[in-house]
């Protein structure tokens, strides 16, 4: 009888874990859909907000605003990370999706430059600032929450769903783009069709706000609040006691995030602007390659639970260093959609070695009372510096006539992270989550 009761309790506990992961994941999907809708549709709305100049100059302007949004991510990582460590993961996740909804709605409703002049790009910047704060806090709090509610021994597997839903958000953005390309003319897309995507994001964020209110709070957070001084939760003073871990988050993130944003958000523009592939074909190539990328996340996450996190990170560092220059050089000189797909999907399979365990590795470095802040702030700084500027640097190199310099820049940064991967401890075997 006792064993039957225990088995029933274990099943119920397992269902709660899955339920919490799903609620967190759906919210993560909508957050990242809103974030990626900007880059997916920037080829259509660039002329609306920045009407002067050639197509590369317009894309440079939208990429600059994209980078500005990234610069707010450290602020979001600090504010919402501190909030999550002091008041709970659930509350912080609900707040972050509210900010994202506001940003998307503002983009959807802002008139163009021809109607309100300079106010148009200024409102676009304001919207991206709100979204930057939101996504800066979303990553850290989501990574912390999903790692904490996951079953011990399966943290790599469960936390990998953060990137499953992160990329799923991009896939949904691309799917919306493909559908709109089929039902609207090019002129309609450039004129007003792109606004539909941001309207969808705002509505989705409101739905997620309701879903997240029903999530369980992390048991780790509840236990930490019960036994520790609340003044030590989420403070920079407490974080300063872990300088090695903070530096490690920056170092292991820089190569991974630059490689990731090069082969996801930038590559569609690269195919159109450099390779000469049509916009619809580039959208399909991105969509299909990202489907493969999504499937690999839980497979690699589960593998890390068996062999450790460090071997996967080293594999990413070695292969990422070797593949970047050849793949981008070949892609720049092909208009064959099938070959372009291969040149995108192979690097993405390499990137998945990093992305699948990125969240859990960072969460395993810090104690509960500063985990969200410890993950969020240094990660957001690294992403702002290396991920957020990837498009801008790439387009600047192209406009300067030396596009291949960007290929080498990515290679060098990934190699630096490789050195860190080789020297770091394996967090799955020495995790602060088991001690706090």
| Nearest to 138, CA basis, from 87, 86, 88, 100 | 100
pLDDT of residue 149: 77
Comparison of pLDDT for 340 and 62, the residue scoring more: 340
Comparison of pLDDT for 430 and 375, the residue scoring more: 375
Residue 416: pLDDT band (50, 70, 90) is very high
> Exposed e or buried b for every residue in 70-83, given b needs 16+ CB within 10 A?
bbbbbbbbbbbbbb
The CA distance from 379 to 362, in Å, is 9
pLDDT of residue 205: 84
Task: Fill in the DSSP letter of residue 54.
Answer: -
Average pLDDT over residues 172-193: 89
Give the CA angle between residues 350, 356, 357 to the nearest 5°: 115
- Asked if residue 94 lies in contact with residue 212, where contact means CB atoms within 8 angstroms, the answer is yes
Residue 356: pLDDT band (50, 70, 90) is very high
pLDDT of residue 152: 75
Q: How many CB atoms lie within 10 A of CB 251?
A: 18
pLDDT in tens, 275-322: 888 888 888 898 899 899 999 999 999 999 999 999 999 999 999 999
The CA distance from 27 to 424, in Å, is 32
pLDDT of residue 94: 85
pLDDT in tens, 158-167: 888 888 888 8
pLDDT in tens, 224-263: 776 655 556 778 888 889 999 999 999 999 999 999 999 9
pLDDT of residue 435: 60
pLDDT of residue 298: 93
pLDDT of residue 43: 76
Comparison of pLDDT for 50 and 358, the residue scoring more: 358
To the question of pTM greater than 0.75 for the whole model, the response is yes
Based on its alpha-carbon atoms, the radius of gyration of the chain, rounded to whole angstroms, reads 21
* Side-chain-facing half-sphere of 385: CA atoms under 13 Å: 13
Average pLDDT over residues 376-380: 88
Residue 342: pLDDT band (50, 70, 90) is very high
pLDDT of residue 395: 86
- pLDDT of residue 419 exceeding 80, the answer is yes
The CA distance from 271 to 95, in Å, is 36
- Asked if residue 352 lies in contact with residue 297, where contact means CB atoms within 8 angstroms, the answer is yes
pLDDT in tens, 196-235: 999 998 888 888 888 777 777 777 777 777 665 555 677 8
Q: Which two tokens stand for residue 264?
A: 């996801």
The CA distance from 276 to 213, in Å, is 46
Residue 51 phi/psi, 5-degree rounding, is -75, -15
- pLDDT of residue 6 exceeding 60, the answer is no
The position carrying tokens 């401890």 is: 425
pLDDT of residue 35: 80
CA–CA distance from 295 to each of 19, 164, 165, 288 (Å)?
20, 8, 11, 11
Provide, rounded to the nearest whole percent, the portion of the chain with pLDDT above 70.
Answer: 90
Provide, rounded to the nearest whole percent, the portion of the chain with pLDDT above 90.
Answer: 31
- pLDDT of residue 106 exceeding 70, the answer is yes
The CA distance from 390 to 230, in Å, is 39
Those residues with Cβ within 8 angstroms of residue 384's Cβ, 6 or more apart along the chain or in another chain: 70, 71, 73, 74
For helices 243-263 and 404-423, the axis angle rounded to 10 degrees is 140
- Which among 46-55, 121-130, 333-342, 426-435 has the top mean pLDDT? 333-342
Lowest mean pLDDT among 6-15, 17-26, 310-319, 335-344: 6-15
Q: Across all residues in the chain, what is the average pLDDT?
A: 85
Average pLDDT over residues 347-360: 94
pLDDT of residue 383: 87
Lowest mean pLDDT among 22-26, 97-101, 356-360: 22-26
Comparison of pLDDT for 342 and 76, the residue scoring more: 342
Average pLDDT over residues 148-163: 82
202: part of which helix (H) or strand (E)?
helix 194-212
Q: How many CB atoms lie within 10 A of CB 151?
A: 12
SS3 content of the chain, % helix, strand, coil (to 5): 85, 0, 15
Q: Which two tokens stand for residue 328?
A: 């981008």
The CA distance from 336 to 344, in Å, is 12
pLDDT of residue 3: 52
pLDDT of residue 345: 96
Q: Which two tokens stand for residue 100?
A: 């994202």
| Number of residues in the chain | 436
The CA distance from 392 to 220, in Å, is 40
Lowest mean pLDDT among 54-68, 104-118, 309-323: 54-68
pLDDT of residue 256: 96
| Nearest to 128, CA basis, from 145, 104, 153 | 104
* Burial class of residue 137, CB neighbours in 10 A (0-12, 13-18, 19+): buried
Q: How many CB atoms lie within 10 A of CB 255?
A: 29
- Asked if residue 280 lies in contact with residue 181, where contact means CB atoms within 8 angstroms, the answer is yes
Those residues with Cβ within 8 angstroms of residue 290's Cβ, 6 or more apart along the chain or in another chain: 167, 170, 171, 174, 264, 348
Residue 262, phi-psi category: left (phi > 0), alpha (psi -120 to 50), beta (remainder):
alpha
């Amino acid at each position: 009888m006792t064993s039957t009761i225990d088995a029933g309790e274990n099943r119920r506990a397992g269902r709660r874990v899955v339920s919490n992961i799903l609620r967190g994941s759906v919210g993560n999907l909508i957050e990242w859909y809103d974030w990626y809708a900007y880059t997916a549709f920037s080829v259509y709305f660039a002329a609306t907000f920045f009407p002067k100049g050639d197509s590369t100059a317009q894309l440079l302007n939208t990429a600059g605003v994209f980078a500005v949004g990234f610069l707010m991510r450290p602020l979001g990582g600090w504010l919402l990370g501190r909030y999550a460590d002091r008041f709970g993961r659930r509350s912080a996740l609900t707040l972050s999706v509210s900010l994202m909804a506001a940003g998307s709605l503002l983009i959807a409703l802002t008139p163009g430059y021809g109607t309100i002049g300079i106010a148009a790009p200024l409102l676009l910047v304001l919207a991206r600032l709100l979204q930057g704060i939101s996504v800066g806090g979303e990553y850290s709090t989501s990574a912390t929450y999903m790692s904490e509610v996951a079953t011990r021994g399966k943290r790599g597997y469960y936390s990998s769903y953060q990137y499953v839903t992160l990329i799923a958000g991009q896939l949904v953005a691309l799917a919306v783009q493909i559908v709109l390309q089929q039902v609207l003319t090019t002129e309609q897309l450039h004129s007003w069709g792109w606004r539909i995507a941001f309207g969808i994001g705002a509505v989705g964020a409101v739905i997620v706000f309701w879903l997240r209110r029903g999530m369980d709070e992390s048991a780790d957070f509840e236990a930490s609040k019960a036994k520790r001084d609340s003044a030590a939760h989420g403070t920079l003073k407490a974080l300063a006691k872990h300088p090695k871990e903070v530096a490690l988050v920056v170092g292991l993130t820089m190569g991974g995030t630059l490689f990731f944003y090069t082969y996801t958000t930038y590559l569609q523009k690269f195919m159109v602007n450099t390779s000469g592939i049509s916009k619809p074909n580039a959208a399909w190539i991105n969509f299909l390659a990202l489907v493969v990328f999504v499937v690999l996340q839980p497979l690699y996450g589960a593998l890390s639970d068996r062999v450790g996190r460090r071997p996967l990170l080293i594999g990413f560092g070695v292969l990422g260093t070797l593949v970047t220059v050849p793949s981008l050089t070949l892609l720049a000189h092909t208009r064959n959609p099938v070959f372009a797909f291969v040149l995108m999907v192979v690097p993405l399979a390499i990137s998945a070695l990093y992305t699948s365990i990125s969240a859990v590795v960072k969460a395993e470095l810090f104690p509960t009372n500063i985990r969200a802040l410890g993950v969020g702030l240094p990660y957001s700084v690294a992403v702002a510096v290396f991920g957020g500027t990837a498009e801008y640097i790439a387009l600047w190199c192209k406009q300067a006539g030396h596009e291949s310099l960007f290929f080498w820049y990515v290679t060098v940064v990934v190699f630096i992270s490789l050195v860190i991967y080789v020297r770091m401890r394996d967090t799955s075997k020495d995790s602060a989550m088991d001690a706090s």
